[in-house]
Every structure is written in C-alpha cells, then in structure tokens.
Amino acid sequence: MPDPTESAKTNGNGVIKVAAIGDLHVQEDAQTSYRDLFGEISREADVLVLTGDLTNLGKPREAELLAEDLRACSIPVVAVLGNHDYESGCVEQIAATLRQAGVHLLDGQAVELKDVGFVGVKGFVGGFGRRMLGSFGEPAIKAMVAESVNEAMRLENAMRQVRAKRTLVVLHYAPVPETVAGEPPEIFPFLGSSRLAETIDRFKVSAVVHGHAHRGSYEGRTPGGASVYNVAMHIAKPTGRPYALLEI
C-alpha cells in the first residue's frame, strides 16, 4: 500500500523533493524554535538538507536544542557543519549529538537515500577563479591554501563513493561567486572557493546547495553548468519560505 503522503511529494518518476536550508545558527538563549518549520518541511519534502552553521557559537547545548527540534522532522536529514559549528572547539561533541539524533552528518562522505546520492563536505575559503589565493609566500598562507585544496580532495573522494545516478552536493562554503553576489566584494574570498566547483565539474551532479553567504544570491552555476543554490535561511527563495525545495 503506497504511503499517500509519499506519492504527494514524489511525482512517480522517482524524482524526490529535497528541502534545503542553511545557517540556522541555533542559540542557547534564543526564543526561536524550528519545530514548526521542520514539521512543515516533513509534509513538503522527502529529505531535509542542512547546509551548515547549525549552531551559532559551536556550543554543545546549541546542538542539543537543534536535536530536540529535529524530533518534529519525520523525514531523513542530511547535514554538513559550518564555520560557526567549529567556534568553541566542541565539534566532535556536536557531531555526536546530531548523529545520535539520526542526522546523516557528512564530512567527506556520501549517503544514498531514496536513490539519490548526497555528498557532503564543509568546504573552505580561498576565493574564486583566477583571483583565488595561491600557495605562495608565508607558511600561514600555504596552510590556508592547503586546507582549501584538502576540502576539494575530500569532496572528490566522497563523489567517487556515489553509485546512484542522481547526486546532490551539500556544502557550507560557496563553490561559485554568483551565489555570494550581494555580499560586500571585499569578503568574497572568505565566502568560498572555486576549487570546489573544479571538483564538482569533473562529475555529473544534479545540483549543489550551500549556505554561509547570508546576503548572497539564490541561484548560480558552475563553469561546467551544474546548478548551484545558496539556501542560507536569510536568502529569498522561490518557495517564499526560508527553505528551498528542489526536485532531484
């Protein structure tokens, strides 16, 4: 007996609806609860994707509050961490809390859900195109570039794990400059890295979602033509809601 809510969400061709939202920035003292939003998303979509900055200051309590709210979510949840989740040096505790809550937390891995491969990595800074930061000069600069290259390599390794025909790439940092447009140009290099797009373009992907650039733009493309969506909750989206709905 098919689940009626399931058939309302999928179109029968195996296409699934993915709700994607980033930068929830859950805080200890905030009055905001995401329970109603997660309930709404569970009725609208087949899978929920969270694109990092799940917590505001990377505190274990913030992750616990998010895990409590996620009890209202009845669909699978895929997530990556963001820079804010690293702020208090408690990233392992945060990851453990979310995994205990059933979240597929990806950090250089892939998970297959409903015949779609979800590939996740946080990504890193470094800038875009020919103006990317290069590995030259001081060891500190070289370390920064090495981290950016390393995230791209971890994304590549995760992409190679996918056996599904459809793939959604989940990032925190932006892979292209189009979706950070709207932010001050001076901070573009801190919002993402083209090294991620170079990796993505070596594979066939259905779409890419990211967050981090709260004042960026919703839609862009990699040089190879993959659709990129900035789903930070502050970005205006076609749904008119804080989350994007993508058919994959």
Q: Which of 122, 166, 212, 237 binds Fe ion (CB under 5 A)?
A: 212
Q: How far is the CB of 82 from Fe ion (least distance, A)?
A: 4
Residue of 102, 112, 108, 73 lying closest to 248 (CA atoms) = 112
Q: Are 1 and 30 in contact (CB under 8 A)?
A: no
Q: How far is the CB of 37 from Fe ion (least distance, A)?
A: 17
82 binds Fe ion (CB under 5 A): yes
Non-local (6+) Cβ contacts of 38 within 8 A are 48, 69, 70, 72, 73
Q: Are 218 and 237 in contact (CB under 8 A)?
A: yes
Query: Which lies closer to Fe ion via its Cβ, residue 194 or residue 230?
Result: 230
Task: Name the DSSP letter for residue 157.
Answer: H
- Binding track over 12-31 against Fe ion, x by CB under 5 A: -----------x--------
183 binds Fe ion (CB under 5 A): no
> Could you give the count of Cα atoms lying within 13 Å of 105 in the half-sphere of its Cβ?
21
Query: Which lies closer to Fe ion via its Cβ, residue 215 or residue 241?
Result: 215
Give the CA distances from residue 55 to residues 30, 134, 166, in Å, rounded to whole numbers and listed in that order: 11, 31, 29
Stretch that binds Fe ion, among 32-40, 58-66, 90-98, 208-216 (CB under 5 A): 208-216
Cα angle at 82 between 119 and 74, to 5 degrees?
60
Q: How far is the CB of 53 from Fe ion (least distance, A)?
A: 3
Number of residues this chain uses to bind Fe ion (CB under 5 A): 5
* Residues of span 134-163 touching Fe ion by CB under 5 A: none
Stretch that binds Fe ion, among 5-13, 77-85, 136-144, 220-228 (CB under 5 A): 77-85
Chain contacts with Fe ion (rule: CB under 5 A): 23, 53, 82-83, 212
